[in-house]
Structure 1
């Protein structure tokens, strides 16, 4: 199966348009049609309906395999490029905003670093495609348990630190004076939905096992300071690692039940060398 044809197919299905896919990929619309026809001939079955453009049942099954296959190919290309360019002395690090804890920031070298702050879901792809040499992702987990990451199958992971989880409330909130909070206390509260800047509400729901935690406002940026300012202004609660849960007009209260931590993990493709290996060595020293 030709990966170029497969990439064209994934793009057409994502955009639901042959012409839009042609613009994104830099092909003519005729070339895109030829790619899809060649792939359908190779597999011996129609993969797309044309009006509207949508995957057939066989096409849906192909999509289930296509994303991890293409990501694995990208990871292989990135790994070869990383080995070839390991001596260039630069480190490109992609990180979710709340993965930039004092520990991970303290391990950065004093120079030669490009830091790319991305939405959490985009970090594995940045590493797999070679846009970044290393990645930092984070989330809720039981103490010492690894994160359950999606889209990171071709990548290698290692723990990069854990810290307590705090609920950030406005200073005048009725629960602000408590020494600790349980998720059961907060299921009906008004929450900030900020998947790019804080710990996503879907993770809270997974931990709690319910569909609670209704958002009152959605913030689609990656600036943690904006998120904490929204919490201080009374627009909703936010769940953050202890090191990030601070802002004027707010109170940070530890989450005591269930027993979960904010866990950060490092993503990479190949055996580490050069500035990437030096970063990991410093990170390991701070963990000991």
Structure 2
């Protein structure tokens, strides 16, 4: 399939409009219609209904493939450009909010850094497509176990830190005086669902056999301080790395004792080689500290 046609199709399906897709892509509406017709002829299937504009069953199936295919093409282009270009003196770092622990912050240079805090699943894609030189991702894992990252392109990951995790409770909570807590005992508690600011509830369910941990409130941001304020106000519990949970006013951070899991942080690099330029210095500092 011609990737130009595929990109046009994805844009039309996303915007549900031929005219809006034409504006977004810088084409005429006639050209967009020709692209869709050519793709449908190539595949021998109708991909879109016209009124309203919406994917057919075959079109929905194509959309499942299209995102990873186009991302892989962008990653290939970025990889070639990265190899051919001179090393960049400035660093573009994509990270999750809870990956920015004290060890990571100490490794950053005093200047020349652009820091982007992204949702967890977007960090590998940012590195793969070249919008970031390095990425930092984190999650819940058994000690020394690697994280499971989306397969977006050839990427290399390095473990750069592990630390204990704590349940953040209001200081008035009945369990606030405990020396430790077991995750299974908290499966029916009220939880904050904050997939991009704390450790996602899906990670907790995975560690607890796939069930429990219903959300009392969903927070769709990346600000850890906003998440801890919600926990302090009693809107729900949250699981955080110890460094992020300690010292939050009006809360108690109780260590998680069972199962034996840690907060793991990994460095994400493009391709199979070590990074170059400013990215190399930060990567070396992080690996040395690890």
- Provide the TM-score with structure 1 as the length reference: 0.93
Task: State the partner residue of 1:37.
Answer: 37
Moved more, 110-119 or 45-54: 45-54
Task: State the partner residue of 1:75.
Answer: 75
Task: State the partner residue of 1:179.
Answer: 179
Task: State the partner residue of 2:262.
Answer: 261
Tell me, in whole angstroms, the C-alpha distance in 2 between the residues paired with 1:30 and 1:151: 36
Provide runs of 4+ in structure 1 moved above 6 Å: none
Q: Residue 151 of structure 1: CA displacement?
A: 4.8
Task: State the partner residue of 2:94.
Answer: 94
| Long gaps (5+) in structure 2 | none
| Change in CA separation of 1:171 and 1:86 when aligned onto 2, cut-off 3 Å | farther
Instruction: Report the count of equivalent residues.
Output: 287
| Change in CA separation of 1:203 and 1:285 when aligned onto 2, cut-off 3 Å | same
Paired residues of 1:82 and 1:133 also in contact (CA < 8 A): no
User: What does the per-residue CA deviation read over 1:105-156, in whole Å, with 9 as the maximum and x for residues that have no partner?
Assistant: 2221222111111121221222222111111111111111111122534432
Task: State the partner residue of 1:49.
Answer: 49
| Change in CA separation of 1:5 and 1:154 when aligned onto 2, cut-off 3 Å | farther
Tell me, in whole angstroms, the C-alpha distance in 1 between the residues paired with 2:45 and 2:112: 51
Matches of residues 13-28 of structure 1 in structure 2 within 5 Å?
Answer: 13-28=13-28
Task: State the partner residue of 1:282.
Answer: 285
| Change in CA separation of 1:203 and 1:26 when aligned onto 2, cut-off 3 Å | farther
Paired residues of 1:71 and 1:154 also in contact (CA < 8 A): no
Other structure's SS at 1:192 match: strand
Paired residues of 2:169 and 2:237 also in contact (CA < 8 A): yes
Tell me, in whole angstroms, the C-alpha distance in 1 between the residues paired with 2:187 and 2:267: 31
Other structure's SS at 1:124 match: helix
User: What does the per-residue CA deviation read over 1:40-75, in whole Å, with 9 as the maximum and x for residues that have no partner?
Assistant: 122222222223433333333322322222111111
Paired residues of 1:168 and 1:250 also in contact (CA < 8 A): yes
Tell me, in whole angstroms, the C-alpha distance in 2 between the residues paired with 1:52 and 1:206: 40
Other structure's SS at 1:120 match: coil
Give yes or no for the alignment of 1:213 onto 2:213: yes
| Long gaps (5+) in structure 1 | none
Tell me, in whole angstroms, the C-alpha distance in 1 between the residues paired with 2:262 and 2:153: 23
Matches of residues 160-179 of structure 1 in structure 2 within 5 Å?
Answer: 160-179=160-179
